[in-house]
Chain A
């Protein structure tokens, strides 16, 4: 098994006639983990493509492998919700070649030991590059900085730090975190939620919450933290990333900050690009998420911001939950939605089919920009000869109906269940290896070089 991608024939793939970033059809030759060649009609040079598996990609779009800046893989600790294995299978099927695994596991990823464990789990699984996110504070408690440097220096090379799920609301702690991560080119990814303004909050505060009698989560609780944080980032000259921006007001603040030269990046989830708080009228907790679904005016502002670059990236905030955490009263239910296997389709529906963006923009917001934020050097790159072969092939004309029971993620909490979506991932190449072929899981990539030093990898090789 270990030798499979070194076999001259089995390891080479000739992708014929794919629209590169939606442009003119070209061929891509993938061999030895890289894009060996790119050009028109590569078959002319028989010697170099001999033995390659040919993939007819007429009508398909070739994109750089997607990079998720915001994923919850739940392992260690909540293996009943998701494991690194199942979550990364979902990622590969969704077109991803890298995911950033959020730190709110049990134990919290706040030490070098835990982030290295997550890294090892990811490499053992082999479906995508799992990039552990380190917690900003010990136990996500918001009181004391975690050993950020140790996590940065660990084998996991952590560059993104976040207490996601909980806001680093103490302004002094946030300032120190922003300053400290400069030592290793890190970034603080903030979950912007003023805790006192959102005590017991259940949904967006507005017309719908007033009628439903569910405690409101006001936009100002997000916007006030973002405003503070961009000013802090400017003051200390640090890099700030704002997770899952959800309001029109937040967009305005980020636009203002960028115009002032603040080093801030921002993310929007697929669900915030489409769904609104009207869905809460069903009291079905599948629509309960944090930050909450907002109004249509917010949705339109977020789309415009993603199109004009004010918002840099799409992050899924993939948050699987066991069904019992959703089959209950709204107030009792867990917050979160799955997203890895629907993100591409939802972004196509909301951004591309609306004419707001093209596939080159899609590549920017789902691959290039998130890889840059996470400092993932070998991802998010151009589809050119010599580049690492992280490639996703998409059939933009496909239509499919979302059935959560058929997903690879263990989470069944998709808010898109029953909806017909455009676009389907046909193949995903991770480091030159097809993790997905014909729209189905193929085999994982094997991290040979790591084998000797990774306990558990040898056993995993026999999976």
Chain B
């Protein structure tokens, strides 16, 4: 792996490798001194053309726990807002000796441009590009699901995939980079995915995706779901006639209190409720659902740091050999299955 641009082209071996490495990184987060010397002297630039405090601080925490030097470069208030091009920005960062660029951009494909051109030689991590992909979000989601799935099975997470897990993803799929990255990664890991959305918020061409598509959330839930992921819905979609009102959206496609109760009455006691955040409470998810024991919202945030540590470590350590054991022996943060399966919701 030279870059992490999308999950569409991420192999099963590399996906498992990132997830397994993240398990080791999670163990570091549970120690008193939450720091590894792995990336000492390396420079990671967080290049954010779009505001996202959560993603930025997650990457920042990840890089710092690996002892990297972190530079935060926000487009607003910088030369970018004065019209500097992506090319010039990239070349500037290259001249300053950036080893990795974590890029968040409103334009789909911007990370690919950095990776494919000779503007900069650094490793590129896509931290969300337009309506294309958000691979580290999908990886942290998969990490969260895998821990849950392994705990139910009573087996270790490390090395495991998601075969047989039923995942439903509901909301604005059309504009969601999280949905896209999840669909590809979950396919690779062997999960059964169902997208649930109003027809207006599904892309033309979705029928070719490796998943099922439903317009009916209740029917999907009744069919059995192990992980229910709700996507954020932007209020401004209403003005473009994607749906009539936020209330109608909420009634038909939101995870409200009735649907939370339905999980219990249907007997799905182990179904988890996921959300990439930030949540619109009362729109796509009710407060009761978000705060219920089924919710993995905070676990997802926590796991995000581990995933991003793993991605940075694997891209920057120059280690192209096959996964886990090597990492474990190099660093004192050895894998401990006891830690690895201890995730609580």
Contacts and interface: CB of A to CB of B under 8 A. Distances in A.
Interface of A: 202, 205-216, 218, 282-284, 324, 327-332
Contacts of A209: 203-205
A211 B205 contact: yes
B71 interface: no
B86 A213 contact: no
A209 B208 CA distance: 12
Contacts of B87: 327-328
A329 B113 contact: yes
Given A210-B208, A282-B116, A330 B85 contact: no
Given A206-B204, A210-B206, A213-B132, A329 B116 contact: no
A210 B106 CA distance: 16
Contacts of B109: 212, 214, 283, 329-331
Nearest to A332: B107
B177 A283 contact: no
Contact of A324 (B85, B117, B180): B85
A382 B238 CA distance: 60
Contacts, number: 74
A44 B135 CA distance: 76
Contacts of A282: 112, 116
Contacts of B120: none
A149 to B, nearest CB: 41
B209 interface: yes
A328 B86 contact: yes
**Which residue, A202, A206, A216, A283, has most C-beta atoms of chain B within 10 A?**
A283
Contacts of A206: 204-205
B113 A283 contact: yes
A282 B108 CA distance: 11
B133 A213 contact: yes
A324 B177 CA distance: 27
A213 B180 contact: yes
A213 to B, nearest CB: 3
A330 B111 CA distance: 11
Q: Which 7 A-B pairs have the closest CB atoms?
A: A283-B109, A210-B205, A213-B132, A213-B131, A210-B203, A329-B107, A207-B205
B58 to A, nearest CB: 22
A331 B108 contact: yes
B200 to A, nearest CB: 13
Contacts of A331: 106-109, 130
A214 B108 contact: yes
A328 B80 CA distance: 13
Interface string B183-216: 0000000000000000000011110110000000
19 contacts: A205-B205, A206-B204, A207-B205, A208-B205, A209-B205, A210-B204, A210-B209, A213-B108, A214-B130, A283-B116, A327-B85, A327-B87, A328-B85, A328-B86, A329-B109, A330-B113, A331-B106, A331-B107, A331-B109
B8 interface: yes
Nearest to A331: B107
B308 interface: no
B101 interface: no
Given A209-B205, A213-B108, A283-B112, 17 more contacts: A206-B205, A207-B205, A209-B204, A211-B8, A211-B205, A213-B129, A213-B131, A214-B109, A218-B204, A283-B113, A283-B116, A327-B85, A329-B107, A329-B113, A330-B107, A330-B108, A332-B107
A5 B178 CA distance: 68
Contacts of B227: none
Contact of B105 (A215, A216, A329): A329
Nearest to B129: A213
A138 to B, nearest CB: 30
B110 interface: yes
B132 A212 contact: yes
Given A327-B85, A331-B130, A205 B105 contact: no
B85 A212 contact: no
Contact of A211 (B106, B116, B180): B180
A330 to B, nearest CB: 5
A202 B203 CA distance: 14
Contacts of A216: 203-204
Contacts of A210: 203-206, 208-209
Contacts of B86: 328-329, 332
**Which residue, A212, A218, A284, A327, has most C-beta atoms of chain B within 10 A?**
A212
Contacts of B8: 211
B204 A212 contact: no
A2 B117 CA distance: 49
Interface string B88-109: 0000000000000000011111
A324 B87 CA distance: 9
A327 B90 CA distance: 12
B202 to A, nearest CB: 9
B50 to A, nearest CB: 12
A255 to B, nearest CB: 25
A193 to B, nearest CB: 17
A212 B6 CA distance: 10
Interface in B127-175: 129-133
